[in-house]
Amino acid sequence: MNKKIKEAFQNGKAFIPFITAGDPSLEITEKLVYAMEAAGADLIEIGIPFSDPTAEGPVIQEANIRALSNGITTDDVFHMVEKIRKNSEIPLVFMTYANVVFSYGTERFIKRAAEIGMDGLILPDVPYEEKEEFDVVCRKYGLDFISLIAPTSHERIRMVAKEAQGFVYCVSSLGVTGTRSEITTDVDSMVKLVKEVGDIPVAVGFGISNPETAKKMAEVSDGAIVGSAIVKLCAKYGEDCVEPVGEFVREMKLAIG
């Protein structure tokens, strides 16, 4: 297990923000990482843009399109992380789609990610059944391949949790990423099922957009993941998003304690 990811969960409940690299620009993405770290983020998910992100709602889909229209490539994102690592040791994981990794060459991608100081990888279109081709390589280079569980997983939760690395990403709701007015899933029971199998942190994501929901989700788990609400701020403020995003992260971290 990656040491830094483990540490991310040792500072109270973890707050895990997501941003799409290159939206609005890689310079701003770099600044966002520093600002979110300063505001109390424990681990940051960096999205490598993909043309057809099938697990995302409209907000993150549009961020992907904006980043790709800026001409952002996987190599550009790697360069940005190299720069970040000169200034920050915050745990970082990539969030992207299987084809971005596969087309780069799975081993080449993961090796490079490890070299530049990444700590984990999340591929929402790679379930338990397909994880081996990525997981084995991740283990080789010391990256955690993050497993997801969903409200429909039921008896699969134990199976997934047993082999999970780093932390378990608990998808709070049906559907794609994006803000929701409420979360109706019994997240508590899902987390308990994971804990029955092993001592691995569980962070809850999908549909968390305000301090109240974040607090509620963190109470029954080890942390909260927030994407769309932050990406919305990036879309709204563009080049000026660093301050409002930092403020939002501070508020969220404060709420979950």
Partner 1 sequence: MSKGRFGKHGGQYIPETLMNAVIELEEAYDKYKNDPEFNAELTEMLNEYAGRPSRLYYAERMTKDLGGAKVYLKREDLNHTGAHKINNVIGQMLLAKRMGKTRVIAETGAGQHGVATATVAAMMGMECEIFMGKEDIERQALNVYRMKLLGAKVHSVTSGTGTLKDAVSETMREWTNRIDDTHYVLGSVMGPHPFPTIVRDFQAVISKEIKEQMLEKEGRLPDVVMACVGGGSNAIGTFYNFIEDENVRLIGCEAAGRGIHTNETAATINVGKLGIFHGMKSYFCQDEYGQIAPVYSISAGLDYPGIGPEHADLYDKGRAEYVAITDDEAVDAFEYLSKTEGIIPAIESSHAVAYAKKIVPTLPKDQIVVVTISGRGDKDVAAIARYRGEDLYE
Helix (H, G, I), strand (E, B) or coil at 19: strand
Residues 78-97 that bind partner 1 (CB under 8 A): 97
Cα–Cα distance measured from residue 139 to residue 65, given in angstroms and rounded to the nearest whole number: 31
Residue-level length of the chain: 257
> At its nearest, how many Å lie between partner 1 and the CB of residue 209?
17
φ, ψ of residue 226 to 5 degrees: the values are -130, 125
> At its nearest, how many Å lie between partner 1 and the CB of residue 127?
5
**Pairing assessment for the beta strands 223-226 and 202-205 based on DSSP bridges:** parallel
Q: Are 233 and 19 in contact (CB under 8 A)?
A: no
According to the binding rule CB under 8 A, does residue 213 interact with partner 1? no
Bridge partners (DSSP) listed for residue 120: 93, 144
> From residue 15 to residue 54, what is the string marking binding to partner 1 with x (rule CB under 8 A)?
-----------------------------------xxx-x
Is the Cβ of residue 117 or residue 127 nearer to partner 1 in the bound state?
Answer: 127
Cα–Cα distance measured from residue 137 to residue 106, given in angstroms and rounded to the nearest whole number: 8
Residues that contact partner 1, how many (by CB under 8 A): 40
> From residue 110 to residue 139, what is the string marking binding to partner 1 with x (rule CB under 8 A)?
--------------xxxxxxx---------
Both tokens of residue 113? 């990610």
Query: Can you give the binding site for partner 1, defined by CB under 8 A?
Result: 50-52, 54-55, 57-58, 61, 68, 73-75, 97-104, 124-130, 148-154, 156, 160, 171, 174-176
